[in-house]
Amino acid sequence: MNGLHSLATGRGEEFLCGDPEQFKPPVCSAPTPDTRDEPPTSQLEASSFLSTRGWSFPELLGQGSRFKAIKRVHHASGGSSGSNEADEAEMGGIPIIVEGWDDHTLWPREMFSADWLIRNHGAEAIKVRNIRTYAETEVQLSDWLHRARSTPGDAYNLDSERSYAKDAECPEEWKKWLYLGVLPEKILPRRFGDLVTYFPSDLAPESLMCYFGVGDTLTPVHKDLCGSVGQNLMCYTENGGSAYWFMTASSDSLAFSRYFREQGLAIDLENHALTIEQLAKAPFDIYIGEQKLGDLVIVPPACFHQVVNHGGITMKTSWSRMTDHGLRLALQQELDIYRRVCRPETYRCKLMLFYAIQALSNALSSEPQS
């Protein structure tokens, strides 16, 4: 599946037109502090190395004066299933984590597990990305899971291959679970408020996808597509697996792209992860969260983020929703960037607007006159 997240772009003004050659492997432009016994043997290795080795959430937070912990609310707090806070985060542009979904009596612990996947979908092929080279290959899901189980949780030894199943197809059974009434309706894809619902079904883009990772696999800095709101639920972890999120407020997206450019990096190509030092020097707030089992991260529209997995296997389900606020952002600013860097839009925003207006005006004209 061509995921909606994988081509998410940022607000960079530097490119007149994207050169396909520029879509290169992710690199970190400076090495992370390195406590390894043996230093990297070449500049290339040093410059492409980002490891979660030794990371702990409190310590990370202490490393930057503008690092802030992403606010957490429990899903049952205030009797609102956390959805009011999610709304506020979405509109206010500040990320939030709605936690504790794994406490819910209907949390499908068995179905959200690696062993269940091996038994039920193990023979299926998934695309994985070698995060060292960016090369994509297809492997059997069960092979990937078995290999991930024997992969060390950090890249201490600078392995030449560490593979991440990004934007993997979500098992049908997992998709169905989302709609069983545990998660609030208004954060679900293709439900009220998601303008994708107005598309004829054959035109609606699929935004639901899974991320199967292991420590030190990562998604470089990006914004989710076209001003959409992202939701990302940690469904399963093994051996203390978690994911570190580094995020900006939506309102700092321009400042972030300037800062990124000042580091000599191209913001719109989704091929760089910033080091902790670079993030710590940013002249705006960086929100950091450690996403654990049952945590739902809400990614407001146009919010830059990078995600680094930590420890054992992690499995996340992610989807996006296009709200009217997001669509306005897309039309006013995001699509200009896509044109500059020649990126596919995927969401077909103008067509979505057309179908939304058509459906809403039909609904209005069929209302009884008072």
Ligand X SMILES: O=C(O)CCC(=O)C(=O)O
Closest by CA position to 83, among listed 290, 296, 264: 296
The answer to whether 196 touches 189, Cβ cutoff 8 Å, is: yes
Closest by CA position to 358, among listed 203, 151, 172, 222: 203
DSSP state, residue 330: I
Which partner, Fe ion, ligand X, none, binds residue 211 by CB below 5 to 8 Å per kind? Answer: ligand X
Q: Is 318 in the site for ligand X (CB under 6 A)?
A: yes
For the chain, the maximum distance between any two Cα atoms, rounded to a whole number of angstroms, is 79
How far apart, in whole angstroms, are the C-alpha atoms of residue 162 and residue 266?
24
* Least distance CB 82 / ligand X (angstroms): 17
* Least distance CB 79 / ligand X (angstroms): 27
Residues linked to residue 244 through DSSP beta bridges, in sequence order: 290, 308
- What number of residues does the chain have? 370
Q: Is 5 in the site for Fe ion (CB under 5 A)?
A: yes
The answer to whether 339 touches 226, Cβ cutoff 8 Å, is: no
Q: Is 265 in the site for ligand X (CB under 6 A)?
A: no
Mind spelling out the 3-state secondary structure of 16-43? CCCCHHHCCCCECCCCCCCCCCCCCCCH
* Least distance CB 57 / Fe ion (angstroms): 20
Residue from 211, 244, 246, 304 in contact with ligand X (CB under 6 A)? 211
How far apart, in whole angstroms, are the C-alpha atoms of residue 188 and residue 321?
7
* Least distance CB 219 / ligand X (angstroms): 3
How far apart, in whole angstroms, are the C-alpha atoms of residue 174 and residue 58?
33
How many residues of this chain bind ligand X (CB under 6 A)? 12
Q: Is 167 in the site for ligand X (CB under 6 A)?
A: no
Scanning 2-10, 67-75, 109-117, 148-156 for contacts with Fe ion by CB under 5 A, the matching segment is: 2-10
Q: Is 272 in the site for Fe ion (CB under 5 A)?
A: no
Q: Is 216 in the site for ligand X (CB under 6 A)?
A: no
CB closer to ligand X, 129 vs 356: 129
CB closer to Fe ion, 31 vs 169: 169
Q: Is 79 left (phi over 0), alpha (psi -120 to 50) or beta?
A: left
Residue from 53, 292, 316, 321 in contact with ligand X (CB under 6 A)? 316
Residue from 307, 322, 329, 356 in contact with ligand X (CB under 6 A)? 307
Closest by CA position to 315, among listed 143, 92, 134, 111: 111
Q: Is 154 in the site for Fe ion (CB under 5 A)?
A: no
Scanning 3-11, 38-46, 74-82, 138-146 for contacts with Fe ion by CB under 5 A, the matching segment is: 3-11
Which partner, Fe ion, ligand X, none, binds residue 32 by CB below 5 to 8 Å per kind? Answer: none
How far apart, in whole angstroms, are the C-alpha atoms of residue 3 and residue 211?
11
Q: Is 219 in the site for ligand X (CB under 6 A)?
A: yes
How far apart, in whole angstroms, are the C-alpha atoms of residue 71 and residue 92?
13
Q: 3-state DSSP helix/strand/coil percent for the chain, to nearest 5?
A: 30, 20, 45
Site string for ligand X, 224-263 (x = CB under 6 A): x-----x-x----------x--------------------
Q: Is 90 in the site for Fe ion (CB under 5 A)?
A: no
Q: Is 95 in the site for ligand X (CB under 6 A)?
A: no
Residues 139, 141, 142, 148, CA torsion sign:
positive
Q: For tokens 């044109």, what's the residue?
A: 339
Scanning 50-58, 263-271, 282-290, 299-307 for contacts with ligand X by CB under 6 A, the matching segment is: 299-307
Q: Is 224 in the site for Fe ion (CB under 5 A)?
A: yes
* Least distance CB 6 / ligand X (angstroms): 9
CB closer to ligand X, 232 vs 275: 232
Contacting residues toward Fe ion, per CB under 5 A: 5, 224
In the complex, the residues that contact ligand X under the rule CB under 6 A are 5, 211, 219, 224, 230, 232, 243, 299, 305, 307, 316, 318
